[in-house]
Chains A and B, each alone.
Chain A
């Protein structure tokens, strides 16, 4: 009885050290040598000021910027301390009501045709950094009106930032909203705002 107990404890201690400490430390060292920017959060700087992570979405409601997907994280949208989706089921009245409200806001912003689903349906993480092409294109008239940037310029800007499916077949075609907006703000400067 005592022998197996001793072996159990000792084997556990061995692996506690090997996979609990040595392994993550090795990976940390490799990360900070070979891909330090990624290992530390893919932070984007404007000058010296960190203004977000390329990978973590931010909320936008300014009519002169591209809007991200809705987010239901606790406290405020895109609260990275509480990642997660709404968890609302497809027949839940709460979801239907929320979508109705989001549609209302988008209609008020001038969208007349059908509304791209990603602008009214939240992601699983609540931190989605991307929107699809349709969701970006539909925002052109509003942004053009507010910023006086011609529609075709905005269109080109979107296509410049469009990431195709990886290797042509993985995932979906998306646009990083933070990067798109940073580029848009540079354009706005050029157009004298």
Chain B
């Protein structure tokens, strides 16, 4: 009996991985450079086209683009703007039934589901306790959810840029203008890239229309227990435009329930490859933007390399686990790769590549049923989320979380070797350490507390689909995903209940805004410091020794926080699976 994939297929999958990372790495510098120009207000080739629109927006809204904000004003503007977005989306969801572009006449969302969904999209999580094709109108998708896909991504980028300014400025109070950063992120980066991506998707078969759902006859009627079914109803909608920003903004909320496994969202192996590329493009390139903005691109590359290493390790673990498959199935005389939850056209390679990148970033789109991955395969994705999504993380949020780990690493190293902890010429003191710790640990604390509550209450455990150790994984994954604003799910868990809508809603809010505010506090504090030129006592943060150290700190913090929980979930399930039930 042949088991798993042939050697040729494994070699081709590895080739797909290799080519992917080469292309991504080649794109980091050009896009990173472009973004640094956008954020420093330099002229770029799109300026003649976009600059008039930008100025027009400022004039109409009364934004003074030259006014610079301190961290408090920046944070206040960010929170206020997000709150307005939340209210608007919440109302759209509640009153969906009364709004236009609703050919299937869907009713409004329930209050708890609307609350959960609005929080989810405003926080860049895109956790979905609803199913798009059977619950959301075109208006909701396009003018409600997709708007937040742009704006939540732009918010994350703005916060990161403020931190970059904090690091690079000296004796300053101001860290930029939130409205300008938000507007520029959207107009110069997210929108042009989305248009290119959407047009490409269109050419490949991703749909884009406002028709009502299409009824087509089955070639052969199916007989079910409840009668014969002769036709299929194909959902329609403006998918391509939403697909593009869903990926570029590391949002991840699918137009359809099956997300990027759905052929109308992700029709072929090429679109799959491009989708993964779009997910990682901005977060990866921001490392170069960072280097450029702090005046030392080596610092950006050092962080990129650490991120890439983390990603490659877990890609390897997940791939290995998936090609080993499920012995319970192969023992029944089944040959070939373990394909439960995977699309034939993507194969194991295309599925694993997507599943790894979507969890290393805060994307959360899926082209595979995460719940059906092998125990260690699923754990690999879960660990990437639990490490606070720093490889490459969400647009903006990934790098600012990573920079918190950098500060922690610098501080611990400073203690160990007896040097004053400094990063980029700025002294790391008590305030910076507190903010870094808050940024790095908030999600972990939220995950463990909420998972524990869910595990000891009937409301929590009754939603489990898969029994035993796997059930624990479902709950742990739900809170890991929401607290880190990922949005993917072990989707067997029935998450549309009052308990889970509220609990995951809180997890998303805390996981997004506590680190975001801490980052802005740190930005303000660093901006005000004086610059200390490097001397013999300075720890170089762009050399391999520091990269290894940073890598170790991230892994150790993650392992100390989650080792116990992971042991009881996926590890136990793996032992059961290979030991026989």
Contact = CB atoms under 8 A, between A and B. Distances in A.
A61 B222 contact: yes
Interface string B139-179: 00011101100110000000000000000000000000001
B238 interface: yes
A158 interface: no
Interface in A123-176: 123-132, 134-135, 165-172, 174
> How many of chain A's residues touch chain B, expressed as a range?
35 or more
A30 B238 CA distance: 12
B131 interface: yes
Contacts of B465: 87-88
Contacts of A134: 335-336
B264 A55 contact: yes
A178 B234 CA distance: 15
Nearest to B132: A83
Contacts of A130: 343-345
A76 B222 contact: yes
B80 interface: yes
A90 B146 contact: no
B577 A90 contact: yes
A53 B234 contact: yes
B228 to A, nearest CB: 9
A17 to B, nearest CB: 9
B261 A39 contact: no
Contact of B339 (A16, A26, A78, A117): A117
A93 B288 CA distance: 49
Interface string A47-74: 0011111111111111001000100000
A41 B347 contact: no
A40 interface: yes
B334 A30 contact: no
Contacts of B16: 169-171
Residue of A58, A99, A171 with highest tally of chain B CB at under 10 A: A171
B332 A11 contact: no
Contact of B84 (A9, A117, A171): A9
Interface string B240-259: 11100100000000001110
Contacts of B85: 12
A43 B2 CA distance: 37
B234 A80 contact: yes
B343 A27 contact: no
Contacts of A99: 329, 332, 334
Given A95-B340, A116-B336, A130-B344, 4 more contacts: A8-B77, A50-B214, A80-B133, A171-B270
Nearest 5 A-B pairs (CB), nearest first?
A171-B269, A172-B347, A124-B261, A87-B492, A83-B258
Interface of B: 1-2, 9, 12, 15-16, 19, 57, 60-63, 76-77, 80-81, 83-85, 88, 131, 133-134, 142-144, 146-147, 150-151, 179, 182-183, 186, 191, 194-195, 198-199, 202-211, 213-214, 216-220, 222-224, 229, 232-236, 238, 240-242, 245, 256-258, 261-264, 267-270, 272-273, 326, 328-329, 332-351, 366-369, 371-375, 465-468, 470, 473, 490-492, 573, 576-577, 581
